[in-house]
Structure 1
Amino acid sequence: MWSWGLSLVLLCGVLQWSSVSGGLVLTVHVHSGATVLINRTQTAVSKCEVCIGKSCQSSVTLQNSADVEFNCTEPENLFTVEIVRYIVCTESCDRNITPEQYPSLQNFSRTFTWIINGSDENSFSLDFTKTGLRQIRATESCPDKHVYTVSNSTTSIGRFCRNGTIKGMEMNFESSVSLQVPGQEQLEPTTFGVSVGNGITVLAMIKVSLPAEESSQEFFSPNYPGNFPDFNSIRWSFNVPPKYYASVRILDFTEPRCLRDDTHLKYERDGKMVVKKLSDAQLSEHQGSFNLTFRSCLRRNLNSVLSLHFKISAIKRGAEARCTVDLTREEGLLELHIRKSKPTSACILKLSSLIQDTVTVTSEKALTLAFIDCREEDLLLNINQTIACQQQKGCVSSKFSLRVPVLEKCLPGFLQQVSWHLNTPQDGAVELMSPTGSLQQSLPGQTCNSSILLTVTEHEQQGMAVGQFCPQGPIRSVQIQSNITVTASHADGRDLKQITYPLLEGSILESLKERYIINVMPKKDSSVLLATPAWPAGMKPQSTVSWIVSFPSQFEANVEFTNISQVSCANRHTSIEVQKQSSRGETYSWRMDEKPKSVVMEESFYLNMSNCKSVKGSFSVVSQITLLKRKNKSLTIALSVVSVLLLLVVIAFAVVCVINRRKKKQQNSHPEVSVYNPNGHAFLPVPKTTEDDEHIYHCIDDTMVYGHLLKHGEEVNDFEPAVDSYQVFTGPTEVQPLTEHRENTDKIQEVGVYRPFTGPQNAPEVPERSPRQGRNPAHAEQQGADKKISGDDKIVEDQVRTTPGLKIAPLADPEEDDSETPL
């Protein structure tokens, strides 16, 4: 019967291989208390059977040693072997279990199973201290090919490899531990302990000891990726070494809709408990040991699945630094919020020995915080301060400063922003001013010189910003009829803790006529942009804003509207109005359907805007005001008048010259009428040509037109005219001809009379100018120029009377030459 003769006898003498015709014969020595099951796999195609004696079947159970025969040549590819041992733990059970060698079955895939039975009141503990276990997926294998499986009668607690952090398990009654070793693999037996426990209320409790090094392990819910049974719980007990901090992170989960209760994770430590949903952020940077319990619910749909896959990691930390934060000395209600800048940061923040993701410290009491491995950039700080005044009488005109509260130097982190909530009495208003004297609105195209940004929001507008401001600008004050919040922040993300000076000064005001009033004082030769509140989102419906723009009188402002967003109104209209501050000021106004034009304002003015109740769109406007040096129009007009008068004088002088030249021509055509006599008379009389002996002169020297008459009875050479005095002429006013005495006499007869100028006496008309307030230097200069140019009769008369040796000749008779105008 033997087709080949080969015998293998081990030193222990418990195995014998024999080759029979067409099959394989094995001698199996079964250890006491064990049962050996040899089963053909369900996937086997061959009809190979295992035989004991003449009985051949697809499987066989051995409780005693026996020879087994396979009717195929390679049965190890078709059959598996399971060695089962039953362990009863009722009142006492304290033993070590080690898998036993079965050399004759080494080529077969072997599973060593220990079924542990206990009482309903007690549980049993499995001690894997010597080997340690690591949980794996159902499809994973272990590096050494040795895979442990722990389960109860209905549920698989999990599959495990050796050399892990799981040091023990506590199970309820009728559970099992299996060790699977593949065929052709040498068994490397390890020992684990079994003992009686005190009883647990969960399906199983897995004991995990994290190593004293940075590490991470993954864990799975029972039956993963299948469904965790309803109304069941499993607990992991994590032992964290000193100076190490553990974090739990969920990698994957499925959650059904529950009919009763809910699914959750429960963290327990030192009698304190925290419950989290599977979708919540889990425990982070926790120091000390803790328990984690996974609870299932009653599923609404039995086809839905509950499963969980999470990871726990531990990292060693440095020394703990403590800091006591005391805000009780600050005025008003103050809150300090501290949070980690990144969830994955190594920084640990603790309050009352508990690790926290965020901490809030109020001004009600001082708190002691602990920080571990926290750098400045690991923590972000925010401060909220409430300044409230509810009594109208006590609040009006009360002033306050908005400054960064002083924090302890031991407190790490960046102070990201500070917010002041300003609450006023009913119908009250808030006025904000810069301690440096001015503010600037932060807008595109208008860069702030400072990195400090001050954002003003209204409480009624659900946090909508009124505007964003920075120091150093043309805005003197901002008044708002509303409860507001002012938030200070650094544009470049720097720490606000370094700012020790007040950022804003404020006061409480009575009710305003407008919702917003902004006082502006532009700088010369520069442009300023002013945007409506809540730009670019748009003003609040039916709200108004007024800019009070003031500047010195020697300047003028050019007002332009560079960006306008209009709306469709349900009632009323949006409007823009520019009005001078003086009562006589001119007003420019535009409504919704009109496009505002640029205007030039010569004095301080109001810029008013109002919004309607819109049905579509938003009302927002950006205005640009440019302040320039104003041209002196009064001086320009005065100089123009002077120029006209000078032109008239030049024309008159030219006319006189022309007339003189024409008279000289006529003089050459008539007989000589007078000659200069140095020995006596200034003129020789012309022979009588009229009946009344009247002498007419055809030419008079220009320097003698207004000379004084010679006195009667005096010699010409002895005549001394009066100097520096005005003497009224008292002689006869009728025309008398000049007569000549043939003989020398002591008296000189009247030689002529003074004839006043009878031509036009009025100066050219100057256009009227509207009067202006205050002194007008240009007008005074104009009066002086007019007086200097037009002259004065007294000045002319004095000049004539003070000319020595001057005689006046009679004017020519108009009848002789009608074409000449008398001078």
Structure 2
Amino acid sequence: MAGLSCRVTVALLGALLLGAARLPRGTDASEIVLPPGSSITVLIKQGTPDLPAKPCYIVVSRRHLTVLFIKAGEKVVVTFTCQNPEKHFVLEIQKNIDCVSSSCPLGEIQLQPSISALPTLNRTFTWDVKGSKSMGLELQFSAPRLRQIGPGESCEDGVTHSISGHINTALVRIGTFCRNGTVSRIKMQEGVKVALHLPWFYHRNSSGFSIANHSSIKRLCVIESEFEGEGSATLMSANYPEGFPEDELMTWQFIVPAHLRASVSFLSFNVSNCEKKEERVEYYIPGSTTNPEVFKLEDKQPGNMAGNFNLSLQGCDQDAQSPGILRLQFQVLVQHPQNESNKTYVVDLSQERTMSLTIEPRPVKQSRKFVPGCFVCLESRTCSSNVTLTAGSKHKLSFLCDDLTRLWVNAEKTISCVDYRYCHRKTYPLQVPSDILQLPVQLHDFSWKLLVPKDRLSLVLVPAQKLQQHTHERACNTSFSYLVTSSAPSHDLYFGAFCPGGSVEQIQLKQNSSVTLRTFAPSFQQEASRQGLTVSFIPYFKEEGIFTVTPDTTSKVYLRTPNWDRGLPALSSVSWNISVPSDQVACLTFFKERTGVVCQSGRAFMIIQEQRSRAEAIFSLEEEVLPQPSFHRHNFWVNISNCSPASGKQLDLLFWVTLTPRTTDLPVVIIAVVGGGALLLFALGLIIYLVKKKKKKMNKGPAVGIYNGNINTHMPGQPKKFQKGRKDNESHVYAVIDDTMVYGHLLQDSNGSFLRPEVDTYRPFQGPMGDFPPSPPPICSRAPTAKLTTEEPPSCIPSESESEPYTFSHPNKGDTSNRDTDIPLLDTQEPVEPAE
């Protein structure tokens, strides 16, 4: 019986223990005791999480509450109805300390009540210390020191210190701080309020700071930042990002080891509208004979400073109607002195008028590891992470940087033409000045902005060495390239990247353009002699750009339309003038069969024109297949004109040109010679037969079409072609008789004199094409190919064929049978292209 009773007791005890284990943690009771006269209050209130599915309450003496306020001298036992109350409630403990009517509790500040006696909630301890206006209070922070954070930032461990000061009845926020920084002390005037936020899972019983009485500091506050080695600190003015209090003074004291150097750079700032005084920063620098050194906020700040120094921010009396905002965020970088800080470089821009130069950090990935800063110093004292040098002055530079490859140089120069009469045919070199090349920092970009009068002049770029266009098929592998862009009101046109060692002899640009020399490797310093480009102002033309290309006999020449990634702009036209050496044959090949462009309005065309024969092949880029590889023995044009393409259907073309030596086949030459001779003999026989036949007809009737022998047609210095007299040969008889000769009597005027029609000879153009590319065909043209000339505008009406006969008519005024002439028989055949 006793054994059975023992087993029942054990079972009941186990059930009770199991039930206790299964009870929610929130039901654990916390006894909060606040001693009388401690000036401590405790507030438990709801936080701001999402509303739970089941509400949670504070339980005190069987009452369910959502807010609990405990005053000094009270004792309260607190539980919660939910398992995780830290998700629903926060705990605020505030202690008021009066240092005016009673003595201050100096020394280290302890947490009261103890953490172990408080519920497991997110806790905020606040100490509000009241002092007199002539009294200074000092907060000392033990290691690890504090690091100031800006709006929106948070601390990794969730532990933060928020510090504010008093100005009369107003509260001024000094800043929010995390642990592991450089701030070791903060001195306040009149009073201070410190709030320590601890997350619910963080357990500690010390506040991490102590309070000491201090003499008056006669300013809003003093923040001491102490460096033990290399590092950086980012600090902000009071009330940041809101405005700094009006006409106040705030100071930062920096303690720097003697073997290190400090530099200050302003990250961001704003100035207010001052009615009296002036906003400024003041430095007290060891060894300076001009302390305090005064700077404006927009000035470059001191760098390469040895030893401790102070920085103060002074406000002003603001305009009551429009006060504005004074705020400052800055960084102090402490590092070992650099070797470059003792070298001075001179950049002389005194003769320049439109040039500027900027030295700045190149973009890098952010790292938590400390990275020494790179600063550029003017006159060895005013240092900044980026410096802009303006035209008209001579500048002396030094560098405070452990690795100068982390900096680069960007420069810009403007070349403009205001009076087109003065600029016409003017040439300007596009060269990087030697002062920039001698800097120990890599040049990234040097841009020339080229401005021309609208519709008056255009531009031509001529390189010292022929250029290669960068494409995926043949990429530039040089240390620099030229990026060519033109600008128009409706669009910017990127012509591409070009590097030395290609086939492009010149680039003509219609309008305002920009040429940027961009480097890709430090080796540019050694290859700088290869850079050389000149720009000239030439007569205006209407195409967006014209490329002059002389292909290399040893490799392909890849060319592509501008705006490769976005497509050629609407209603724009670009041409390539491609030269072919006399002993070579050029093969033109396109990368794809179709362009894929879809026109919303207008037509997209490509014209391929032989410059010698002037034969044009016209292709509709919207409808037709691009031509198969074609061979050209003479210089030729490639012109591409865009329509207004539909959205998402852009025009971009890639093509290439290759050269191969010309070959002559001996049997072909023999056949051509024999065939040509036979054809010539047949033509002469036919002409003689026709002349004799016409002569017989003329003898039967009146003379028609007889040449007027009264005119002396003998050309000086020309030997006679015909030794017989005119009456003994038939050279004066025309092979073709026009109707105006037969009906010449109808051309008589009222006085009986003859009206003389114009006399001319058709002479097809046999010379070079010239500098002008082919014009696009008319919109109504639908044929894939056509014969056009640049001397006659294209028309939708078919023109006369070149094979049609040209006739001449001269009224007869007398007997010409006894006259001689030295003019040979007129040949009505088309000219034959000279043999290759």
TM-score (norm 1): 0.53
1:550 aligns with 2:567: no
CA distance in 2, matches of 1:184, 1:454: 63
Tell me, yes or no, if the aligned pair for 1:449 and 1:472 is still in contact at 8 Å: no
Deviations 1:203-237 (A, max 9, x none): x514314245345679899999xx99998999762
Name the SS of the counterpart of 2:668 in structure 1. helix
The residue type equivalent to 1:169 in the other structure is: K
Match of 2:262 in 1: 245
Q: For the pair shown, which has the larger CA radius of gyration, 1 or 2?
A: 1
CA distance in 2, matches of 1:551, 1:356: 55
Name the SS of the counterpart of 2:460 in structure 1. strand
Match of 1:269 in 2: 282
Measured on the aligned residues, the alpha-carbon RMSD in Å equals: 5.9
Tell me, yes or no, if the aligned pair for 2:245 and 2:315 is still in contact at 8 Å: no
1:328 aligns with 2:349: yes
Q: Which is further off, 426-435 or 633-642?
A: 633-642
CA distance in 2, matches of 1:291, 1:535: 54
1:420 to partner: Cα distance:
1.8
Deviations 1:11-32 (A, max 9, x none): xxxxxxxxxxxxxxxxx9xxxx
Q: Which is further off, 490-499 or 415-424?
A: 490-499
Tell me, yes or no, if the aligned pair for 2:142 and 2:184 is still in contact at 8 Å: no
Match of 2:541 in 1: 512
CA distance in 2, matches of 1:523, 1:81: 85
Q: Which is further off, 122-131 or 448-457?
A: 122-131
Match of 1:169 in 2: 187
1:201-280 map, 5 Å: 204-211=220-227, 213-214=229-230, 237-241=251-255, 243-245=260-262, 268-270=281-283, 271-274=294-297
Of 500, 513, 517, the residue aligned with 2:529 is 500
Deviations 1:320-357 (A, max 9, x none): 44635433366662221110225765212234644333
Match of 2:394 in 1: 366
Shift in CA distance, 40/368, structure 1 to aligned 2, threshold 3 Å: closer
CA distance in 2, matches of 1:338, 1:114: 48
Of 405, 409, 417, the residue aligned with 1:377 is 405
1:613 aligns with 2:627: no
Match of 1:603 in 2: 634
Tell me, yes or no, if the aligned pair for 2:226 and 2:255 is still in contact at 8 Å: yes
Shift in CA distance, 340/374, structure 1 to aligned 2, threshold 3 Å: farther
Name the SS of the counterpart of 1:486 in structure 2. strand
CA distance in 1, matches of 2:261, 2:564: 52
Shift in CA distance, 40/399, structure 1 to aligned 2, threshold 3 Å: closer
The residue type equivalent to 2:391 in the other structure is: S
Tell me, yes or no, if the aligned pair for 2:468 and 2:504 is still in contact at 8 Å: yes
Q: Which is further off, 162-171 or 459-468?
A: 162-171
Tell me, yes or no, if the aligned pair for 1:169 and 1:205 is still in contact at 8 Å: yes
Deviations 1:108-160 (A, max 9, x none): 99x99996542xxx4321256898995599999x9xx9x99987688697899
CA distance in 1, matches of 2:179, 2:531: 65
1:96 to partner: Cα distance:
9.8
1:315 aligns with 2:334: yes
Shift in CA distance, 137/636, structure 1 to aligned 2, threshold 3 Å: closer
Shift in CA distance, 588/615, structure 1 to aligned 2, threshold 3 Å: same
1:536 to partner: Cα distance:
4.1
Match of 1:622 in 2: 654
Match of 1:194 in 2: 214
Q: Which runs of 5+ in 2 are unaligned?
A: 1-34, 45-57, 62-69, 78-92, 118-124, 198-202, 284-293, 319-326, 365-370, 678-828
Shift in CA distance, 171/185, structure 1 to aligned 2, threshold 3 Å: same
Shift in CA distance, 501/116, structure 1 to aligned 2, threshold 3 Å: same
1:125 aligns with 2:136: yes
Shift in CA distance, 368/509, structure 1 to aligned 2, threshold 3 Å: same
1:465 to partner: Cα distance:
1.3
CA distance in 2, matches of 1:162, 1:443: 52
Q: Which runs of 5+ in 1 are unaligned?
A: 1-27, 29-34, 48-56, 62-69, 73-79, 90-94, 252-259, 277-281, 298-307, 646-768, 777-823
1:392-791 map, 5 Å: 392-407=420-435, 411-426=439-454, 427-436=456-465, 438-448=466-476, 450-460=478-488, 463-492=492-521, 494-496=523-525, 499-512=528-541, 514-524=543-553, 526-563=555-592, 565-582=595-612, 584-592=613-621, 593-598=623-628, 599-616=630-647, 617-632=649-664, 635-638=667-670, 773-774=833-834
Tell me, yes or no, if the aligned pair for 1:126 and 1:192 is still in contact at 8 Å: yes
Match of 1:389 in 2: 417
Name the SS of the counterpart of 1:274 in structure 2. coil
Name the SS of the counterpart of 1:636 in structure 2. helix
CA distance in 2, matches of 1:532, 1:197: 70
Name the SS of the counterpart of 1:565 in structure 2. coil
1:86-165 map, 5 Å: 86-87=99-100, 98=106, 117-118=131-132, 122-127=133-138, 134=145, 165=183
CA distance in 1, matches of 2:419, 2:606: 36
Tell me, yes or no, if the aligned pair for 2:575 and 2:638 is still in contact at 8 Å: yes
The residue type equivalent to 1:339 in the other structure is: E
Name the SS of the counterpart of 1:500 in structure 2. helix
1:444 to partner: Cα distance:
1.9
Match of 2:362 in 1: 341
The residue type equivalent to 1:269 in the other structure is: E
Tell me, yes or no, if the aligned pair for 1:522 and 1:626 is still in contact at 8 Å: yes
Tell me, yes or no, if the aligned pair for 1:431 and 1:509 is still in contact at 8 Å: yes
Name the SS of the counterpart of 1:387 in structure 2. strand
CA distance in 1, matches of 2:405, 2:457: 41
CA distance in 1, matches of 2:204, 2:473: 80
1:415 to partner: Cα distance:
0.7
Deviations 1:30-71 (A, max 9, x none): xxxxx9649898899999xxxxxxxxx99669xxxxxxxx9x
CA distance in 2, matches of 1:188, 1:612: 73
CA distance in 1, matches of 2:519, 2:180: 55
Shift in CA distance, 318/604, structure 1 to aligned 2, threshold 3 Å: same
Name the SS of the counterpart of 2:598 in structure 1. strand
CA distance in 1, matches of 2:185, 2:540: 74
Name the SS of the counterpart of 1:620 in structure 2. coil
Tell me, yes or no, if the aligned pair for 2:580 and 2:633 is still in contact at 8 Å: no
Shift in CA distance, 482/114, structure 1 to aligned 2, threshold 3 Å: closer
Name the SS of the counterpart of 1:522 in structure 2. coil
Shift in CA distance, 176/130, structure 1 to aligned 2, threshold 3 Å: closer
1:640 to partner: Cα distance:
8.5
Tell me, yes or no, if the aligned pair for 1:325 and 1:361 is still in contact at 8 Å: no
Tell me, yes or no, if the aligned pair for 1:39 and 1:60 is still in contact at 8 Å: no
Q: How many equivalent pairs are there?
A: 543
Deviations 1:550-594 (A, max 9, x none): 223443322222245343334431111122212x44321112312
Q: Percent identity?
A: 19
Tell me, yes or no, if the aligned pair for 1:544 and 1:610 is still in contact at 8 Å: yes
